């Protein structure tokens, strides 16, 4: 026996006498601890060593477990004089009571051993059941929940519940028939079920109680019966009227005490809107309908160009629907008139093959609005990757290119602008060659250009064409209804026998120092070219041209331009003709 009052590693040791390996219990006064060596257990009995009620074994406390699992009924009581209370309800039961605790901090697990998950145990109101959160506390079959007794509240406090590794929120027992300006209950539930009879607005999400509180709002109604919240100040929803829950959808909200508002979880996938896509590309026919219900991406594949198409009506304001035409370019989809198609711009809404259009539903007008196909406010045209060295009788490509680039090696004629693919198609044709290397189209019947041989694109110029299903129509190159000519930057001092520049200009200015003769007007570069010659000198300082063969002016020496006067000439391919 060690000396009293002196710390000892084995102050009191219980052993079987076989040495340290046989030790069962030890008081170590040197370390100030009680020790259970050799992985021995501590066991508690309710009688003389026969009925085991609890034990500490393998490093864990194992509470007493009820010997049987009674068939709990509605309004039944769960006994708590054990650490694990087993029950087996034969169906879902309600108004259950958890017997009151006896010691502050007492713990009790309630185990629902029913093999049917839906055989839930729902407790009665707090005042009757002794469970702090009362009727909202539910234990599904094949699940368990831990409760701790609080003497000061005379109530059991339940711990958070995981099922299959997931936190299971408390779900409202019924789906409320929410009306306009109605309130969604958030108190004591983690999932609030609603079932509006129609689309409702100005709704309120009941205020939260703790920062970080989560609540799911589940709209169990048909898709069109959407729930839209009131302005933030009234609804407690941070984005207010912009927060909308269509039928058959749910939204997760998080409460922020600092803002006194619910914040909606971002409904995006990888930062992008994730819309439901139609399973197949429908072979839509003329007068067919594009499905918009329950899909955010409607795929089409018409066998030919189709028109008089209808977009199915939208179901809630702001609904988006992307319509994709997976067919070849010429198999366009054209909508019917607005009153029939539900599309705001009606027959002007055309989706070429291999293209998509995004539509937005406006419940105020009951129409779909086609989004603008622009980039930075400008039409974004697909440009050909190279400038083609087009030859006489060559064809300008229009399929798949809204901007067709050309670079003829010389002036070319009898060219063709390939037929368009859909009405209203725009094609920009750019001639990147030198000014004289003009492109002239063939007659209308051959070239598909409405003004045929009258359509010429000089080098370093561009023309815009629009397709009307038969011909391309050239955009008039006028400004305020008049031809627009590039004006020379200066008015050079023209001398006798001098040459007046015409290349790249529509208006050429000169300032002779005196009356000059034998002047030349430089050759034109394409038939139909016009040039205005402005004499900025004093009235007596006239400009007289040389003979036709030398000056390229048809009436040669008979043409004179007085000072402070101008004259306009037109090139016919050989000479300039004075207006």
Same domain, 344 and 260: no
pLDDT at residue number 381: 61
Summarised one tens digit per residue, pLDDT across range 283-324 is 999 999 999 887 888 999 999 999 999 999 988 778 889 999
What pTM, to 2 d.p., does this model score? 0.43
Summarised one tens digit per residue, pLDDT across range 26-70 is 998 988 899 889 888 888 887 888 877 777 777 777 788 888 999
Which tokens hold the place of 213? 């509180």
Torsion angle defined by CA atoms of residues 446, 452, 455 and 457, in that order, rounded to the nearest 10 degrees: 10
- In angstroms, the CA 553 to CA 563 distance is 19
pLDDT at residue number 266: 64
- In angstroms, the CA 148 to CA 432 distance is 84
Question: Which of 140-149, 365-374, 378-387 shows the lowest mean pLDDT across its residues?
Answer: 378-387
- In angstroms, the CA 100 to CA 80 distance is 7
Residue 6 domain flag: no
For residue 177, what are the contacts with CB-CB under 8 A and spacing of at least 6? 194, 195, 196, 197
pLDDT at residue number 46: 79
Q: Tell me: pLDDT of 420 over 90.
A: no
Which tokens hold the place of 19? 């040495």
Residue 178 domain flag: no
| HSE-up (13 A, CA, CB side) for residue 36 | 9
Summarised one tens digit per residue, pLDDT across range 168-192 is 677 888 899 999 999 999 987 888 9
The single residue listed with the structure tokens 């570069």 is 525
Count of structural domains, the chain: 6
Percent residues over pLDDT 90 in the chain:
47
Q: Tell me: pLDDT of 454 over 60.
A: yes
pLDDT at residue number 311: 96
Same domain, 407 and 464: yes
pLDDT band at 506 (very low <50, low <70, confident <90, very high): confident
Out of 475, 500, 521, a domain closes at 475
Out of 447, 475, 503, a domain closes at 475
Looking at residues 151-159, what average pLDDT do you find? 91
Q: Which domain holds residue 264?
A: 183-269
Out of 475, 498, 526, a domain closes at 475
Residue 177 domain flag: no
Which tokens hold the place of 574? 């050989």
pLDDT at residue number 373: 56
- In angstroms, the CA 340 to CA 546 distance is 69
Looking at residues 338-358, what average pLDDT do you find? 88
Question: Which of 140-149, 271-280, 372-381, 485-494 shows the lowest mean pLDDT across its residues?
Answer: 372-381
Same domain, 389 and 466: yes
Same domain, 44 and 81: no
CATH of the domain at 109: 2.60.120
Element (H, E) at 479: strand 478-479
pLDDT at residue number 485: 63
Element (H, E) at 549: helix 548-551
Summarised one tens digit per residue, pLDDT across range 513-526 is 999 999 999 998 77
Residue 176 domain flag: no
Residue 89 domain flag: yes
Same domain, 353 and 332: yes
pLDDT at residue number 212: 81
pLDDT band at 375 (very low <50, low <70, confident <90, very high): very low
Q: Tell me: pLDDT of 361 over 80.
A: yes
pLDDT at residue number 481: 46
- In angstroms, the CA 65 to CA 438 distance is 99
Residues making up the chain, counted from first to last: 579
Q: Tell me: pLDDT of 1 over 80.
A: no
Greater pLDDT, 482 or 354: 354
pLDDT at residue number 50: 84
- In angstroms, the CA 455 to CA 443 distance is 9
Looking at residues 412-434, what average pLDDT do you find? 89
Residue 156: strand, helix, or coil: strand
Strand order of the sheet with strand 543-545? 499-500, 516-521, 543-545, 560-561
CA distances (Å), origin 262, targets 97, 160, 522: 34, 22, 77
Q: Which of 100, 171, 160 is nearest to 131 (CA)?
A: 100
Same domain, 321 and 403: no
Looking at residues 4-18, what average pLDDT do you find? 85
Percent residues over pLDDT 70 in the chain:
92
Residue 124 domain flag: yes
Summarised one tens digit per residue, pLDDT across range 460-487 is 888 989 888 899 998 765 544 445 566 7
Same domain, 320 and 363: yes
Same domain, 230 and 291: no
For residue 345, what are the contacts with CB-CB under 8 A and spacing of at least 6? 335, 338, 369, 370
Same domain, 265 and 279: no
pLDDT at residue number 480: 45
Q: Tell me: pLDDT of 161 over 70.
A: no
Looking at residues 267-287, what average pLDDT do you find? 75
């Amino acid at each position: 026996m060690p000396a009293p009052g002196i710390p000892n590693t084995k102050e009191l040791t219980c052993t079987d006498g076989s040495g340290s390996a046989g030790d069962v219990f030890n008081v170590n006064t040197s370390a100030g601890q009680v020790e259970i060596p050799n992985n021995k257990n501590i066991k508690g009995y309710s009688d003389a060593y026969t009925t085991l009620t609890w034990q500490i074994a393998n490093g864990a406390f194992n509470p007493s477990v009820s010997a049987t699992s009674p068939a709990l009924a509605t309004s039944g009581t769960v006994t708590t004089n054990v650490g694990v209370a087993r029950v087996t309800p034969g169906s879902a039961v309600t108004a259950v009571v958890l017997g009151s605790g006896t010691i502050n901090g007492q713990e009790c697990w309630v185990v629902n051993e029913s093999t049917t998950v839906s055989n839930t145990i729902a407790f009665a109101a707090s005042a009757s059941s002794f469970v702090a959160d009362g009727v909202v506390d539910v234990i599904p079959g094949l699940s368990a929940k831990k409760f701790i007794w609080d003497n000061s509240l005379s109530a059991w406090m339940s711990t958070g519940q995981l099922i299959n590794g997931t936190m299971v929120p408390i779900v409202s027992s019924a789906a409320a028939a929410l009306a306009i300006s109605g309130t969604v209950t958030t108190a004591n539930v983690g999932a609030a079920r609603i079932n509006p009879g129609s689309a409702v607005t100005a709704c309120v999400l009941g205020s939260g109680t703790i920062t970080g509180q989560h609540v799911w709002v589940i709209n169990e109604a048909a898709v069109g019966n959407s729930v839209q919240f009131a302005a933030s100040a009234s609804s407690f929803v941070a984005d207010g009227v912009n927060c909308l829950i269509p039928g058959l959808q749910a939204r997760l909200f998080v409460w922020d005490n600092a803002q006194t508002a619910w914040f909606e979880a971002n409904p995006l996938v990888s930062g992008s809107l994730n819309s439901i896509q139609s399973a197949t590309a429908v072979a839509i026919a003329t007068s067919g309908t594009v499905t918009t219900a329950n899909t955010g991406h409607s795929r089409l594949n018409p066998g030919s160009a189709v028109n008089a198409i209808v977009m199915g009506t939208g179901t809630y304001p702001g609904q988006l629907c992307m319509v994709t035409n997976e067919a070849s370019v010429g198999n366009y989809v054209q909508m019917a008139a607005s009153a029939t198609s539900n599309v705001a711009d009606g027959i002007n809404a055309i989706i070429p093959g291999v293209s998509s259009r995004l539509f937005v539903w406006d419940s105020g007008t009951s129409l779909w609005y086609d989004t603008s196909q622009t980039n930075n406010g400008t039409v974004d045209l697909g440009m050909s990757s190279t400038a083609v060295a087009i030859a006489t009788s060559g064809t300008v490509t229009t399929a798949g290119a809204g901007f067709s680039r050309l670079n003829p090696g010389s002036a070319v004629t009898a060219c063709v602008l390939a037929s368009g693919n859909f009405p209203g198609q725009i094609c920009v044709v750019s001639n990147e060659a030198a000014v004289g290397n003009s492109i002239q189209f063939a007659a209308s019947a051959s070239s598909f250009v409405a003004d045929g041989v009258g359509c010429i694109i000089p080098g370093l110029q561009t023309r815009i064409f629009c397709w009307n299903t038969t011909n391309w129509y050239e955009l008039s190159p006028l400004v305020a209804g008049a031809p627009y000519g590039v004006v020379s930057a200066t008015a050079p001092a023209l001398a006798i026998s001098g040459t007046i520049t015409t290349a790249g200009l529509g208006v050429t200015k000169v300032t002779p120092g005196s009356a000059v003769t034998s002047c030349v007007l430089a050759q034109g570069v394409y038939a139909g070219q016009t040039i205005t010659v402005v004499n900025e000198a004093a009235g007596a300082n006239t400009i007289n041209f040389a003979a036709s063969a030398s000056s390229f002016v048809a009436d040669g020496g008979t043409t004179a331009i007085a000072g402070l006067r101008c004259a306009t000439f037109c090139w016919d391919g050989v000479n300039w003709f004075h207006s």
